[in-house]
Amino acid sequence: MTQPTRDHVLAASHLVLGPTNFLVLRLPTNWDVRIGRTPSEVDYTFTFDGVRWAQQGQATAFVLDEKAGRAMELELRTARGLLKPPRLEHAQEATYPMGGHSATALLGEARYGLFRNKPFNVLYVAYRCGETQRHIAMQFMARSPLKELGDLLPVLADSRCH
């Protein structure tokens, strides 16, 4: 039996232009998405099927499961050109379907912080969307076990980029 899920629209808003979507993120129903540390930035947009998508930009968000006391930080980047993946220790690589596209998924460990002394487990997913003419990269960082991050992949596969 598959777990129930719901969609979360990750978007930037503009007073004059209105909303610009980055991604429609599919997560289990017990997870919620909150505004991240830095404001969203959109450099270029592309309109597909009447919706404005961030062709080049970045956004951050916190992904929370408050009942279980779990949290992840999400960094989302879109670009017209290739996006450089993070350097991960003990990385496992796989190809996975994502929103109708073929995505590369990396699961590993990285150190962040001023002195690179804060260890995090990382799930990095990147793919190209031909319809919106952009590359999309999601990086989930958490202190939870790698298995929990890897368990998100089947759910994330139903996320939409257009």
Residue 161 lies in a domain: no
Residue 105 lies in a domain: yes
Structure tokens at 49: 């099927």
pLDDT > 70? residue 1: no
Residue 162 lies in a domain: no
Give the pLDDT of residue 132.
Answer: 94
**pLDDT > 70 in the chain, percent:** 99
Mean pLDDT, residues 131-139: 96
pLDDT in tens, 85-111: 999 999 999 999 998 999 999 999 999
C-alpha distances in angstroms, 119 versus 42, 72, 84, 148?
Answer: 30, 13, 20, 16
Residue 60 lies in a domain: yes
Give the pLDDT of residue 8.
Answer: 97
Give the pLDDT of residue 116.
Answer: 85
Give the pLDDT of residue 32.
Answer: 96
* Boundaries of domain holding 59: 5-156
Give the pLDDT of residue 142.
Answer: 96
Q: Which residues contact 24 (CB under 8 A, 6 or more apart)?
A: 7, 8, 9, 10, 159, 160, 161
Report the domain count for the chain: 1
E strands, the chain, in order: 5-14, 18-28, 32-35, 41-48, 51-65, 70-79, 89-98, 101-112, 118-129, 134-142
CATH code at 65?
A: 2.60.120
Average pLDDT, the chain: 94
Give the pLDDT of residue 16.
Answer: 85
C-alpha distances in angstroms, 147 versus 79, 121, 139, 144?
Answer: 29, 10, 15, 8
pLDDT in tens, 54-82: 999 999 999 999 998 999 999 999 999 99
